[in-house]
Structure 1
Amino acid sequence: MSGTDFQSGREALGARLRELRTEAGLTGKELAQRLRWPASKVSRLQTGRQTPSVGDLEAWAHAAGQPEAIAELKARVAGLETTYRSWRRQLVAGHRARQEQGIAETAATRLTRGVEVVRVPGLLQTPEYARNVFEQNAEFRQTPRDVDTAVRARVRRQEALYDPDKTFHFLLYEPALHARTGPVPVQAAQLDRLMGVVGLDTVRLGIVPLGARLRRAPSHGFWIYDRRLVIVETVNTEMWLEDEASVRLYERSWEWLEQSAVYGRQAQRLIGRVRAALGAV
């Protein structure tokens, strides 16, 4: 999904660049000559096969005799860069920086809603569970292993759960309770933590049972910060969606999934059954 949307946005930007060129009465070869670029670069930018730099956009607009289009072009490419954030770029120095971003977003949010399909939300993770997650991510993405500092940052972010001015509402699809990111004792302690969280007055934890009838099956996890931002994680990117249409769509997804969730003692019993299946540890 994210790759397709990103490419569509890049192609739309390329179409706008081609429009500016044709309005100036220039062929691709003529524009390339003006810019002293290879003709292949003009072709790649116009067809969305290359993401232009800000300097490329400025040069293109001036060469086409339309410098007034620069602000529009910059806004388009900024939208691509801020909406789709590659993990490679975000984790270039390790996981701590991304955790600090999470702390900032949580601090600025009164109502945080999170859906997770195959893992426990970071805000509810025990330190050892988080450690296993960070170690696996670092190995998979081949990024620096700043595991200790990342775990400390994640635990610090969890302090917000005890802020009486904030509300957290989590929906977990039952497979997230079964997926083991580490040894059995780590998994058991994590499930114990979830059962304890049910009693917090700032937290509402819903579990969607495997046998529940679903109005719409959960396809991936996502987070909604108030009604201003949705963050969706994919294998290679995070999508930061701030447009009203996207927020409304994810809110509908939330509402439909919530219809299948159980809460309170029912949620605790479900978690308890998964915990009991692990045996005594």
Structure 2
Amino acid sequence: MTTSPSSSVQQARQALADRLREIRQDSGLTAREVARVCGWHESKSSRLEHARTAPSPADIRAWCAACGAEDQTEDLIASLRVLTTMYVEWRRLLKSGLKRQQETRLPLYERTRRFRVYSSWLIPGLLQTRAFTATVLRSIMERDGLPDDVDEAIAARMRRQEVLHKGDHRFAFVIEETALRNTVCSADVMVGQLNHLIMCSSLPSVSLGVIPLGSGRERWPTENFWIFDDAQVNVELVASYLTVTQSREIAEYVRTFEAMSRMALVGRAARDLIRNVISSS
């Protein structure tokens, strides 16, 4: 079973806290003594060591200086930076606008050679039509009260989709049939989107699998995730966007993707299922 994203973040926080405690223990100081040297209330040391409070870079520098472990400062700060980028709230991610959020992902897409994408409830962005993307992004803009840069954001996403047609990229998409039936847009837009899926499935760089409703399941539907080569996984949660870079956790998502792929219809069978959804809409 895939590790819970929130659990993964908490484990990383605890690992950093454990390293702080080990440094303090190796120095022979008590938590109270570290707090006194650093000029903190003694409860802060306890909160840092039990991962109840996240340290700042300044906290780490003060802690290492108090414990005579300045040589470990930069490594700990680097771990903190990784932790900070692992879990980003959507509100923080989108505060600079939808266009910027679309553009920042482009370098990752351009350098990735193998994409593995699972989506349980929405057509993945690389496979979306312009009209479908417009509906989705406008909904996000209105929901979160963001500046209206939807047209610019759509253009940025369309530029990102160029990786489907150029370069040495390979894409494997697995989506639930539910994603084909969710009415997030008008009927006409959805029909256009489903026809576009059929077209994309014929691209030489693309493999598209659809898990039909009512199938015997090896795995339950899970959160949407993207695997970029074997280097990174991004997970879309309700309130946040998670980045996973630890090889052990990436392997869990790879195993989950492979299990989902075994349940999916591919090729002509997938296209026939999509056509059936079109005819019933």
State if a TM-score over 0.5 links the two structures.
yes
The residue type equivalent to 1:147 in the other structure is V
Matches of 1:75 and 1:30 in 2, distance apart? Answer: 25
Partner of 1:82: 85
Cα offset for 1:164? 5.5
- Cα distance per residue 1:168-221 (max 9 Å; x no partner): 221111000011112222212111211222222221111111132222223122
Q: TM-score, normalised by structure 2?
A: 0.91
- Distance in structure 1 (CA, Å) of the matches to 2:126 and 2:161: 5
The SS at the match of 1:115 is strand
Map 1:41-60 to 2 at 5 A: 41-60=44-63
> Which residue number in structure 1 is paired with residue 233 of structure 2?
230
Residues 18 and 46 in structure 1, CA contact (< 8 A), matched pair in contact too: yes
Q: Hey, what's the Cα distance between the residues in 1 that align with 2:145 and 2:46?
A: 33
**What is the correspondence of 1:1-281 to structure 2 with a 5 Å cutoff?**
1-163=4-166, 165-278=168-281
**Amino acid paired to 1:207:** V
Structure 2 SS opposite 1:238: strand
Once the 2 structures are TM-superposed, how far is the Cα of residue 95 of structure 1 from its aligned partner? Answer: 1.9
- AA matched with 2:124: P
Does the 8 Å contact 1:10/1:80 carry over to 2? yes
CA distance in 2, matches of 1:18, 1:243: 22
Question: Which amino acid is the alignment partner of residue 186 of structure 1?
Answer: V
Distance 1:89 1:167 in 2: 31
Q: What secondary structure is seen at the aligned counterpart in 1 of 2:219?
A: coil
**Which shows bigger deviation, 8-17 or 260-269?**
8-17
Q: Distance in 2 between matches of 1:33 and 1:224?
A: 46
Percent identity of paired positions between Structure 1 and Structure 2: 36
Q: Tell me, what secondary structure is at the counterpart of 1:106?
A: helix
Alpha-carbon shift at residue 104 of structure 1 (Å):
1.4
| Matched-pair contact (CA < 8 Å) for 1:163–1:202 | no
Gap runs ≥5 in structure 1: none
Task: Figure out how many residues of one structure are paired with residues of the other and give that number.
Answer: 278
How far, CA to CA, are the matches of 1:154 and 1:86 in structure 2?
A: 21
Contact between 1:133 and 1:181, CA under 8 Å: does it hold in 2? yes
In angstroms, what is the RMSD of aligned CA positions? Answer: 1.9
**Once the 2 structures are TM-superposed, how far is the Cα of residue 141 of structure 1 from its aligned partner?**
4.1
Give TM-score scaled by structure 1 length.
0.91
Which 5+ residue runs of structure 2 have no aligned equivalent? none
Q: Give CA-to-partner distance per residue, 1:240-263, whole Å, 9 cap, x none.
A: 222222222222111111111112
Distance 1:170 1:54, change over 3 A: same
Deviation of the 1:23 alpha carbon: 3.3
Residue 143 of structure 1: how far off its partner (Å): 3.9
| CA distance 1:141–1:52, shift in 2 (3 Å) | farther
Amino acid in structure 2 at the alignment position of 1:27: T
Q: Separation in 2 of the partners of 1:193 and 1:9?
A: 40
SS of equivalent to 2:215: coil
Give the SS at the match of 1:251.
Answer: helix
